[in-house]
Structure 1
Amino acid sequence: MRIAFVSFETAHHRDTETNQRFRTVCEILAENGHDVHCYCAGFWAGEDATFERNGITYHAVSSGLEARSSFLLRLPFVLAAARPDVIHASAEPASQVVAAKWGARLARAPLVLEWYGDGGVTETRWTRAAARRPDRIVTPSSLVTTWVRELGADGDLVEPVPNPIDCDRIQAVEPAEQVDVIYARRLDEGANLESLLLALAELRGRDWQATVVGDGPERDTYERLASDLRIEDRVTFAGDLDLEERIAAYRGAHVFAQTADHCVFPTEMLWALAAGCVGLVEYHVDSSAHELVEGWDRGFRTTSETELVEAILAARDLEHREYDDRFADYDRSVVAERYRDLYRTVRDEYGVL
């Protein structure tokens, strides 16, 4: 299937969660044999109109990010000339969705919209218009689905598809040393690591070790807090680790704690749960992390520091695992199949033979 992805800005321009998600979708579909083209602002050196990487052909619709107006004006005609089977656009910026819809009409192809929502979903004239334009909207979670429906999107046309993981890769990595609790996230103002540190401090009379993976502007603050709570000898701040190192750490850990204030999809938590960790989630209204553990006997959802402490204690009674096949449905190959089935459905509904 020939798929035209539309994203004015890509992960090659700016490494955000939204752009990472869009690149991942492109890559998993290319891995599964689809003809994948991404129409974007140019980011490569030289005057070539196209650039290929990881099975994806990038097309420069404009010369760079400073030429957004040119991108929006040219996009419908470029898409019409491409004659794709499906057009799949990012919701950011929302103005490109309207241009992509015109391109879809000219190309006589259905439009799928990828709405990740990492920066939140703000109601504007453009986002309201974007919510009503596509033939299908894909979100990472029920949380973002709710946000998009509040903009006026037809709920029957919104489908949550999770971020993928690689289950074979998890099983191929040797576990690191065992620890009781692990936390992984960029340590910024939304990390809310203090919730976990305060809960662990309540258990200082018991035997435990914790690891914090990640770096960021608040790392020094959290290290000082651990010292003030007199648990600095129990908590290892490991800094940034590559994926192989993180998988090894998750396979060695017993509990993965997710306490961040904002999370549209808990990708690191998913890697950890598939690597055998017990899941411990502190509920927040702008986080979807609790969705991964609802109805699961190795998952805990908490709403207070007391419940967090009780959950850590209860998790100690569960067996240690190094892999959990419950999360095989999140594998890259399975997620790619979900997109393929979605494309076939919208093409059938659109009347494309």
Structure 2
Amino acid sequence: MRVALVAMETTRHTDTAGNRRFERLARQLTEAGHEVTLFCAQWWDGEPDRFEADGIQYRAVTINRALTSFCLRLPLMLARYGPDIIHARPSPPQQVIAASIGGTLARTPMLVEWFGDEGLDGTARTTRWAVTEPQLVVTPSQMVRTEVRELGAADESTRIVPESIDFSLVDAVDPSEEVDVAYAHPLDESANIESLFLGLAELRDRDWTATIIGDGPQRDAYERQASDLRIDDRVQFVGACDREQRLAIYRGAHAFVQTAYREYFATELLWALAAGCVGIVEYQAESSAHELIENYERSFRVTNPQQLADAIVDAGQYDHLSVEETWREYDHSRVLEQYTDIYDDLQSGFGYL
């Protein structure tokens, strides 16, 4: 299958979770044998044509992020490429209109990948065009899907495709020392470790240990808070950590606690669940984390620090695991199949859309 991906801004321009997901999809499609080109603004030195990096074939539409020029040139370039499917990012939303025109010229269906972190103005006409022009809008969670529908997308024109993980890596990493609780998130204003610490402080008379993964501008403040609550002797801050180090900690941990205010998809929670952790999620209005564990037995949903403390205690009813096969369905290969099935469905029904 020939796939045209459209994103004026790549991770080389703006490193966001949505852009990383989009480029990971480009690599996975290429590795699976599909012909894939990502149409973008040039970010590399040299001739403004094609450039390959990290397994992705990039095609420069413009030599810089000049939106008007990008949108004027894109339709004809897509038509000449002759893709079987066009898959675009919604930011900036004007590129969706241009990609749609390219799809009309190429007689090709188009879908939009809406992760949730685009930061678009929901009142702008162009934003609403970005959800109504494509044949389908893909989101990583029900929370983001609801936001897209509120912008004007029809229910039948939206689909959830979750984030994915390398499940084989879970087995490949040896567990680290056992801890009772693990937590992972950039230590910024949305981390909300206060809830976890207040819950742990309720359990001072019990024997427990906790590991905090992540770094950021609020780390010093969180370390001071642990000290003020007199739990710092049992809370270890280990920094950002790479994927293997995180997995080793998750495989050694009994429970993973999710309290962050904002999660378009709770990827670290997913990794931890796959590594056998009991999931404890504090409900947040701007987080989709609770969706992951909605029908999962080894989990707890809470709304305040006292309930969180109770859940940490109650998690002891479950055996310690270091891998959980339930989450194999989120492996990269399984989720990639969801994308290719969507592509096939769009192609087969394009004449009727």
Q: Does the 8 Å contact 1:251/1:277 carry over to 2?
A: yes
- Deviation string, structure 1 residues 207-246 (Cα, Å, up to 9, x no partner): 0000000000000000000000001110101001011111
Q: Say which SS state the counterpart of residue 300 (structure 2) adopts.
A: strand
Q: Say which SS state the counterpart of residue 279 (structure 2) adopts.
A: strand
- Deviation string, structure 1 residues 65-116 (Cα, Å, up to 9, x no partner): 2x22211111111111110000000011111111110111011100011000
Cα distance in 2, alignment partners of residues 277 and 255 from structure 1: 5
Structure 1 length-normalised TM: 0.97
Query: Is residue 68 from structure 1 mapped to residue 67 from structure 2 by the alignment?
Result: yes
- Pair 9,119 (structure 1): closer, same or farther in 2 beyond 3 Å: closer
Q: Which residue does the alignment assign to 1:286?
A: 286
The count of aligned residue pairs is 351
- Deviation string, structure 1 residues 107-150 (Cα, Å, up to 9, x no partner): 11000110001245641211111111011110000000100000
Q: Say which SS state the counterpart of residue 112 (structure 1) adopts.
A: strand
Gaps of 5+ in 2: none
Cα distance in 1, alignment partners of residues 26 and 292 from structure 2: 24
Q: Does the 8 Å contact 2:42/2:48 carry over to 1?
A: no
Q: Which residue does the alignment assign to 1:26?
A: 26
- Pair 120,43 (structure 1): closer, same or farther in 2 beyond 3 Å: closer
Calculate the aligned-residue CA RMSD, in Å: 1.2
Q: Which residue does the alignment assign to 2:239?
A: 239
Please tell me the residue identity of whatever aligns with 2:333: S
Query: Is residue 6 from structure 1 mapped to residue 6 from structure 2 by the alignment?
Result: yes
Structure 2 length-normalised TM: 0.97
1:53-202 alignment to 2 at 5 Å?
A: 53-65=53-65, 67-119=66-118, 122-123=121-122, 124-202=124-202
Q: Does the 8 Å contact 2:281/2:289 carry over to 1?
A: yes
Q: Which moved more, 1:51-60 or 1:333-342?
A: 51-60
- Pair 119,203 (structure 1): closer, same or farther in 2 beyond 3 Å: farther
Residue 54 of structure 1: how far off its partner (Å) = 3.3
- Pair 138,247 (structure 1): closer, same or farther in 2 beyond 3 Å: same
Q: Does the 8 Å contact 2:3/2:85 carry over to 1?
A: yes
Q: Which residue does the alignment assign to 1:317?
A: 317
Q: Say which SS state the counterpart of residue 317 (structure 2) adopts.
A: coil
Cα distance in 1, alignment partners of residues 177 and 119 from structure 2: 37
1:192-271 alignment to 2 at 5 Å?
A: 192-271=192-271
Residue 331 of structure 1: how far off its partner (Å) = 0.4
Q: Does the 8 Å contact 2:48/2:62 carry over to 1?
A: no
Cα distance in 1, alignment partners of residues 262 and 293 from structure 2: 17
Cα distance in 1, alignment partners of residues 280 and 118 from structure 2: 24
Q: Does the 8 Å contact 1:121/1:147 carry over to 2?
A: no
- Deviation string, structure 1 residues 142-185 (Cα, Å, up to 9, x no partner): 00010000011011111100111011111111111111101001
Residue 256 of structure 1: how far off its partner (Å) = 0.6
Cα distance in 2, alignment partners of residues 272 and 330 from structure 1: 12
Q: Say which SS state the counterpart of residue 67 (structure 2) adopts.
A: helix
Q: Which residue does the alignment assign to 1:335?
A: 335
Q: Does the 8 Å contact 2:140/2:160 carry over to 1?
A: yes
Please tell me the residue identity of whatever aligns with 2:329: D
Cα distance in 1, alignment partners of residues 96 and 70 from structure 2: 12
Please tell me the residue identity of whatever aligns with 2:159: E
Q: Say which SS state the counterpart of residue 351 (structure 1) adopts.
A: helix
